[in-house]
Structure 1
Amino acid sequence: MTQLFEREDNYNATPHYTPLDKPRFSDTEIQITNDDTPDNVFIINNVVEANRPLNYLQNAIVDRNNKVIVYGATIHAYLCINALLEFRIRPENIIFVEPFPYENPNKTRVPVFDNVYVDKTVIQILESLKIKVYRSFYFKSWSVTVDNLITHADFLSYSDYLNLECDALFYFGKVGVNMSTFIAIHKSGLAYDAGIVIDHEFRTLDPHVYAAGPCTRYHKRYYADSKSHKYYESSELGEKLGIRIRKQLDPLFVEANSPFTYRWSQDYMVKPDAAAEKSVTSLNKTGVLHGSDFARPEMALMSLTKPTVMYCVLPGGLKYLEVRSPGKKIPHHYVQSLEYNGYVFETFKSGYFKLHLNKDMIVDGITCLSQGKFSLENFKHIYGRPASELNNLHLRYMTNQLDNFFEFFRASWAFFLYHDHADDLFAMIKQLFPKGQNKGLTVKEALCEVGMRLTDSTSTVKKMDQKMVIQANFAKSPHIEAVTDFVIDWLSQHDVLLPMYLQPGQTVLYDRVLDTAHPVVKRRRTLPQMLF
């Protein structure tokens, strides 16, 4: 028996085998801060910090064959490589270490570009430039000299080890908080939990101090880690924060509600039962948020709707544009596996252009990659537009009449979409009354009535029949004349920036040109056909 017990003890003392594809993960992940980094390790957060490595490279590395390491799995790492190439650093001297997938196996594995075609193109560009790339390696340590300069950096994967010589390291990995900043936050009486703790109104523990942006984090009572500010557009956050502060400074300030709202009929409202109303009322406590532990209805997080826009130049002169819905990035293949995920339209002429439309045929995702000399920034205005407003692109694409989105959206018809007041145009059209009337249903209210009629129909065949009847009746509606007159007047006011559209005073000249030119076949499409 004694031998059996000793044998069992020896077996338990032997470390168990850990498969390489399921490594043990520790929450104590290495974090680097700006406090104690060597002089040739650069963490770039702003323009001032970007100028320092450029001066260092100009004085120390340009004339020699020293190695430069770029570490990170973010879009900024690729932008850093492009900046080094433009700074005349030889591609053979650049080493790119990408720590993807993440060390934590439980973390969602979303690539930088989240697109197979973009990933393949960028990889081919890096290979053609002869830039050395190491993937799935993670930073562990570095060797520092007496002069506070690193000479080597160590990286470890699940099956290999690297000891790379370098004269400069650009670090875009996990960054810890600056110690002086951390001390200042705590001495100010503010809470810090992987970010400055705020509530639904951007208030910190000090009700007179507000904070917003990627340096913040919602209080844990909200269970809103997926709603962190780093997943949303900074300009919209600044606008919301400005409104909150103005309310405190100006008691008479009242936030204007959108005038284009539509109230649904009470028949379409879901009425809660008495028990549900009682539970909601019991949670509606009064008092300061910081002294209450109840999740009150007024504690709901504000809605942020502006899309996230990324426009940059990648290595090799590739122009890249990504416009996506606000919020945490979700893997593309997972989105497409969901029911009612929408449609994906892709073209490969003049570059790569992908549009994602939801089930209502509204653009909610744009990806562009091209080496053309034209700018891609204007294409961000396509986001949120229905396919009918985009010259019925869904019909053209599905009938194989559209194979180049770059050429399609750079045509003269689309220029009004890129105007600064295009949103105002669509907003004002929605509140137009029928021509010659000051009362009645606006355009938006009339379209909502149409939508409710279609909602009542359960059969697809009935919906199509009703849609045809409604479209025929809407063509004779006085709303059409009001919309036509308003659009013509709007184009006349902006004819300096939009000279490609025919003005009413130019019709005589246009007819004269048509008479002298070769005959062309003109296809006329009515406005109701574009709306439906």
Structure 2
Amino acid sequence: MAFNIHLERGDSLVPRYVKPIMRYCRLPGGLYYLSIVRPGKRIPLETAINMENYGQVFITGSCKNVERQGFFRLHLNEYKTVETITCLAPFPIDIHNLYSLWGKNEKLLNNLQLRFEMALITDLFDYFKEPWAYAIYHDKFDLLLEDLNNLMTSTVGVPGFSLISNLIEMYKKNKWRALSADQNDIVEEKFNTASYPKLLEKKLLDFIRDHLDSLPMYAHPIMIKAILEGFNKSPMFSY
């Protein structure tokens, strides 16, 4: 089974595919196979892994012992966003939730790279079932990301100042080479001194507040207030 091939034409006569291609099937012998890849021309794996900008790969399980633990391979591209997901398991795979991971930065995935390097992730199937990931699986989460992206490209704080425009100018001066440590510090300082952090936090909290029924695992101020009020009213905590 293969589905969700989404494209946009816009003003171009050539269609532009913007969503990943997902294939999911049950193989002879009862194993379940999942592949999520970016749209476009496929490059043979043997060639791709030898390219300087290939990125990183994180694997749990083994194809040779898949009955014991499902095989999960996740590929991050050079920008540390999920580009390829390959799974093989003796159980049905949660394809819709895993599909939501494509294109997400590893920082958004609960600092995936750091946790993997610290040997805190032994099974990626279990890792992506943990409560921290539920917001990413919400059907309105992509709208939140779009809203946050629009905020980051807007002028905030100082009139006429846009962090993204400023960042582009820095890259132009660098002839599109990576920024130095000092330049990164300047960008971080500008980000923190503008109103971006507070506005981003507010939009995220508003998103969780609007969907508390389906996202009760997050410590929203409303939930904390309700818990504390319960403590204050309980005779168990009165002295």
Query: Does the alignment reach a TM-score above 0.5?
Result: yes
Confirm whether residue 421 of structure 1 aligns to residue 176 of structure 2. Answer: no
- Cα offset, 1:463, TM superposition: 1.1
Residue of structure 2 aligned with 1:508, choices 207, 225, 239: 225
Confirm whether residue 236 of structure 1 aligns to residue 42 of structure 2. Answer: no
What stretches of structure 1 of length at least 5 have no aligned partner? 1-75, 77-231, 241-254, 258-297, 515-532
Confirm whether residue 400 of structure 1 aligns to residue 124 of structure 2. Answer: no
Asked if 2 retains the 8 angstrom alpha-carbon contact of 1:319 and 1:376, the reply is: no
Change (3 A) 1:448 1:378: farther
In structure 2, the partner of 1:327 is 40
In structure 1, the partner of 2:195 is 478
- Cα offset, 1:322, TM superposition: 0.6
Confirm whether residue 365 of structure 1 aligns to residue 84 of structure 2. Answer: yes
Percentage of pairs with the same residue: 28
- Cα offset, 1:235, TM superposition: 4.4
Asked if 2 retains the 8 angstrom alpha-carbon contact of 1:387 and 1:393, the reply is: yes
CA distance in 2, matches of 1:342, 1:499: 35
In structure 2, the partner of 1:347 is 60
Match of 1:322, SS state, is strand
Match of 1:367, SS state, is strand
In structure 2, the partner of 1:465 is 182
- Cα offset, 1:357, TM superposition: 1.4
Change (3 A) 1:376 1:360: same
In structure 2, the partner of 1:102 is none
Match of 1:309, SS state, is strand
In structure 2, the partner of 1:303 is 16
CA distance in 1, matches of 2:228, 2:29: 48
User: Which string of whole-angstrom CA distances, capped at 9 and with x for unpartnered residues, describes residues 6-44 of structure 1?
Assistant: xxxxxxxxxxxxxxxxxxxxxxxxxxxxxxxxxxxxxxx
CA distance in 2, matches of 1:462, 1:327: 29
In structure 2, the partner of 1:65 is none
CA distance in 2, matches of 1:366, 1:486: 29
- Cα offset, 1:314, TM superposition: 2.0
Identify the structure with bigger relative contact order (alpha carbons < 8 Å, sequence gap 6+): 2
In structure 1, the partner of 2:26 is 313
- Cα offset, 1:395, TM superposition: 2.3
CA distance in 1, matches of 2:182, 2:216: 40
Match of 2:16, SS state, is coil
Change (3 A) 1:513 1:484: same
Match of 2:18, SS state, is coil
Asked if 1 retains the 8 angstrom alpha-carbon contact of 2:75 and 2:85, the reply is: yes
For 1:85-484, what aligned pairs fall within 5 Å after superposition? 235-236=5-6, 301-348=14-61, 350-372=69-91, 375-432=94-151, 440-441=160-161, 445-454=162-171, 456-457=173-174, 463-484=180-201
Change (3 A) 1:311 1:479: same
Asked if 2 retains the 8 angstrom alpha-carbon contact of 1:434 and 1:482, the reply is: no
Q: Give the aligned CA root-mean-square deviation in angstroms.
A: 3.4
Q: How many residues align?
A: 223
Change (3 A) 1:451 1:464: farther
In structure 1, the partner of 2:234 is none
User: Which string of whole-angstrom CA distances, capped at 9 and with x for unpartnered residues, describes residues 149-184 of structure 1?
Assistant: xxxxxxxxxxxxxxxxxxxxxxxxxxxxxxxxxxxx
For 1:67-82, what aligned pairs fall within 5 Å after superposition? none
Asked if 2 retains the 8 angstrom alpha-carbon contact of 1:361 and 1:387, the reply is: yes
User: Which string of whole-angstrom CA distances, capped at 9 and with x for unpartnered residues, describes residues 45-67 of structure 1?
Assistant: xxxxxxxxxxxxxxxxxxxxxxx
In structure 2, the partner of 1:214 is none
Change (3 A) 1:236 1:500: same
Matching residue's letter, 1:417: I
Matching residue's letter, 2:43: I
Matching residue's letter, 1:446: L
Asked if 1 retains the 8 angstrom alpha-carbon contact of 2:33 and 2:89, the reply is: yes
Match of 2:26, SS state, is strand
- Cα offset, 1:400, TM superposition: 3.1
What stretches of structure 2 of length at least 5 have no aligned partner? 63-68, 232-239
- Cα offset, 1:329, TM superposition: 3.2
User: Which string of whole-angstrom CA distances, capped at 9 and with x for unpartnered residues, describes residues 437-491 of structure 1?
Assistant: 69645xxx52353254256347x99612321342244233311111111111111
CA distance in 2, matches of 1:398, 1:472: 28
Give the TM-score, by structure 1 length: 0.37
- Cα offset, 1:505, TM superposition: 1.5
Matching residue's letter, 2:48: V
Larger-gyration structure (1/2):
1
Give the TM-score, by structure 2 length: 0.77
CA distance in 2, matches of 1:448, 1:399: 36
Match of 1:475, SS state, is helix
